[in-house]
Chain A
Amino acid sequence: MKARGSPGAFLCLIAALVVPAGAICQAEDGQGGLLDALAAQVHGYYEVRAGCRTGRDPYEEDMSIMETRLQLELPASARWFDLKYKGDLWADGITDEAGHDTRELWLFSRPTDLLDVKIGRQVLTWGTGDLVFLNDLFPKDWRSFFIGRDAEYLKAPSDAIKLGFFTDIANLDLVYTPRFDPDRFITGEYVSYWNGQAGRPAGRDAIVHARQPDRWLEDYEIALRLYRNVNGYELALYGYRGYWKTPEGQTPSGAPVFPRLNAYGFSVRGRTGPGIGNVELAYYRSVNDPHGEDPLVRNSEARYLAGYAQEISTDLNGSLQYYVEQVLNWGNYARGLKGANGKDQFRHVVTLQLTQLMMDQNLRLSLGGYYSPSDRDAYLRPNIHYMYTDNIRLELGANIFLGEDPSTFFAQFEKNTNIYTAVRYSF
């Protein structure tokens, strides 16, 4: 994650938000000092996080993560709207950089019974998958996920306008992102990857610089969700107009680009036996190559997910999911390979999540696992999370990548297998 500004800008932002927030608080109660009002509102944490690779990776540093982070959160409220700022000041020992990352900066209003509006930088999520995303095409941060940052960082923020329309028949969410927000994908800076062009693993020696559609109002994204709850079953239809969130295409000269993508989908979630079941489908239409004839652009795909979660025993929860990605127009894709090693038509993935609470629920042991029988690779995420006090949390975990063929999705990260630890003080 590169700094999106300087610490100076960060402080200005805080100042800009702090003053109206204090003024609003004061105006509302008509008493209490500015400082009192602020102290009650400002929250956040300070964290130190460090981790290392368990083996040597010729393309990366031995340390997989080494950072300190101060997060501040500042909400403010007036009669007709709410404001919020949430941002991180960080110093990164891997890249020797420091900076800030504004995670949220938005205005929310509920002008009528029928409408919600949220404008600004915000984190957005929908869909039914457990750490598997089909119709959620909001930006993800896979590098944070793979190097062991808190799960919260898997979602990167969007600069967007979200409108919610609410009626008795159904509800509609409409998210307009005036300029494309891609994933914070694997570039080789923190995590080495399989470089298909070079036909070898690569990392800091071949950092991916993708040409990003970045024209305001022209390179926009629109995401829609139409949903309603029927007898406790949540039904939803989805639509998306935008771009593949990672550079799934290349120019004839080999430069990575983000081709156009439209997506359509459906999901249902609700009580199933003693637990919760979910099914989600999505059709990804690769607009620049709808028939799969262009080998430089990723083909259209169908994606399928079925999941089930339940409490296995006291304080032990589990979830199991089956996920399939199907390459459409497979014949054209296979012909385009011209004998080179490529993807299978179907990629199957099983995911498992187990969480056990112990010691008055202050200790949490969890194991997340992804296993692909078709790629014959896997990704395991064991984690120990202990609340030493209400404010101090200790964490120890690992990201383990396994596989045989270094070009498959999880196996390419094998040399990035890492363990990490963190201490967080929240206030």
Chain B
Amino acid sequence: MSPKTIIAASMVMLGMLAAPAFADERPQAPAADEIVKKANHAALYQGSDVKGAVSMIITDRQGRTRKRGFNMLRKDVGAGDGDQEYYVYFNEPADVRKMSFMVHKNGDPARDDDRWLYMPGLDLVKRIAAGDKRTSFVGSDYLYEDISGRSPLEDAHELTGTTDNCYILKNVPKEPGSVEFAYYLAHIDRKTFIPVKLEFFKKPDRLCRVIEVLKIDSMEALENGRKVLYPTVTRSVARNLDTGSKTEMTFSNVRYNIGLTDQIFTERYLRRPPKEAMR
């Protein structure tokens, strides 16, 4: 993998499952507005910080597998589901082991995120330019945007149905030329507001990619001294129906509200990772 592939890592931060950051622009549909806001929060902003280990197994059409593994730290900056800081420390494969990656995510979608990559063999801190968000994340079937969250203004959202467990939203890109799909359906859990299934369609209604949650665990944490439970996606899978490839992702050793400081998300810790990131 190259630095470029690693860019994708920024996504890690965003929660383990694609959580398009929905924004409803039609005030006459308050229900959808509320769903989008809560889904965005559930997928990306639970707790004030979180750490965990991500493992991905990529299986191609011929059954060959590749593995990706990294630890990640996330911290919210301020309240209101806006800016965030991310730290990613790679464990495998061997050619990226011990590389670290840092993102200062700007809540304002008009501003690009700031990203840095550290390559320990050269002791080199590299600044990474913003990139196409519809590219593969570390060679997997997750796209950068699946994980980092799609800009709220890029789709028109519509509540098309409600099942026993889920709200179903149809999302149509406003600039169809900028993405590879025509629209996607998001199934959002009615209790937790976690997006549990995303189905991407090409014209005319041909399913091309699916991301599905396989397991949600309730993670215990302390919030203002009180015990709380954060529902967290711990297993999911992304399937590319065009290439026949799939990626299974697990998220383990998850801990919320551990008191990460802003100092961790600086060049100092990029060059020498905090213990929190290495274990």
A274 vs chain B, min Cβ distance (A): 7
Beyond A271-B112, A360-B58, whether A314 also contacts B94 by CB under 8 A is no
Beyond A271-B114, A361-B5, whether A390 also contacts B124 by CB under 8 A is no
Q: A311 contacts which chain B residues (CB < 8 A)?
A: 4, 129-132
Cα A426 to Cα B97 with chains together (Å): 11
Tell me the residues in window 115-148 of chain B with beta carbons closer than 8 Å to chain A beta carbons. 121-125, 127-132, 134-136, 138-139
Q: B206 contacts which chain A residues (CB < 8 A)?
A: none
Beyond A155-B123, A232-B104, A232-B114, whether A45 also contacts B94 by CB under 8 A is yes
- Quick check: A315 and B92 within 8 Å, CB to CB? no
Tell me the residues in window 147-203 of chain B with beta carbons closer than 8 Å to chain A beta carbons. none
A272 vs chain B, min Cβ distance (A): 9
- Quick check: B138 and A391 within 8 Å, CB to CB? no
With beta carbons under 8 angstroms apart, the residue of A229, A275, A315 that contacts B129 is A275
A387 at the interface (CB under 8 A from B): yes
A310 at the interface (CB under 8 A from B): yes
With beta carbons under 8 angstroms apart, the residue of B114, B132, B138, B266 that contacts A361 is B138
Cα A387 to Cα B93 with chains together (Å): 10
Q: A154 contacts which chain B residues (CB < 8 A)?
A: 122
- What residue of chain A has the Cβ atom nearest to residue B261's Cβ? A113
- Quick check: A116 and B4 within 8 Å, CB to CB? no
Cα A136 to Cα B128 with chains together (Å): 20
Beyond A232-B114, A360-B60, whether A313 also contacts B132 by CB under 8 A is yes
A2 at the interface (CB under 8 A from B): no
Tell me the residues in window 341-397 of chain A with beta carbons closer than 8 Å to chain B beta carbons. 355, 357, 360-362, 364, 387, 389-391, 393
* Interface size class, chain A: 35 or more
- Quick check: B268 and A164 within 8 Å, CB to CB? yes
Q: A427 contacts which chain B residues (CB < 8 A)?
A: 94
A200 at the interface (CB under 8 A from B): no
With beta carbons under 8 angstroms apart, the residue of A113, A152, A271, A275 that contacts B263 is A113
- Stretch touching chain B among A117-125, A182-190, A284-292, A401-409: A117-125
Cα A118 to Cα B120 with chains together (Å): 14
Tell me the residues in window 65-102 of chain B with beta carbons closer than 8 Å to chain A beta carbons. 66-67, 92-95, 97
With beta carbons under 8 angstroms apart, the residue of A110, A232, A310, A360 that contacts B139 is A360
Cα A271 to Cα B106 with chains together (Å): 13
Beyond A113-B263, A154-B122, A317-B129, whether A391 also contacts B268 by CB under 8 A is no
**B92, B123, B132, B139: residue with the most chain A Cβ atoms closer than 10 Å:** B123
B272 at the interface (CB under 8 A from A): yes
Cα A309 to Cα B127 with chains together (Å): 9
- Quick check: B123 and A123 within 8 Å, CB to CB? yes
- Quick check: B127 and A393 within 8 Å, CB to CB? no
With beta carbons under 8 angstroms apart, the residue of B138, B245, B268 that contacts A116 is B268
Beyond A171-B268, A426-B95, whether A123 also contacts B4 by CB under 8 A is no
Residues in chain A within 8 A of chain B (CB atoms): 43, 45, 77, 108, 110, 113, 116, 118, 122-126, 151-152, 154-155, 164, 166, 171, 227, 229, 232, 234, 269-271, 274-276, 278, 309-311, 313-315, 317, 355, 357, 360-362, 364, 387, 389-391, 393, 426-427
13 A-B pairs besides A271-B130, A315-B132, A364-B2 with CB distance below 8 A are: A123-B123, A125-B122, A125-B125, A154-B122, A234-B267, A276-B127, A310-B129, A311-B129, A314-B134, A357-B4, A361-B1, A389-B64, A390-B93
For the complex of A and B, list the 7 residue pairs with the smallest distance between their C-beta atoms, beginning with the closest.
A426-B94, A390-B93, A361-B139, A152-B121, A125-B123, A311-B131, A275-B129
What are 29 A-B residue pairs whose CB atoms fall within 8 Å in the complex? A43-B94, A43-B97, A124-B123, A125-B123, A126-B125, A151-B122, A154-B122, A155-B122, A166-B263, A166-B268, A171-B268, A274-B112, A274-B129, A275-B130, A311-B129, A314-B134, A317-B4, A357-B4, A360-B60, A360-B139, A360-B245, A361-B1, A387-B66, A387-B95, A389-B66, A390-B93, A390-B94, A426-B93, A426-B95
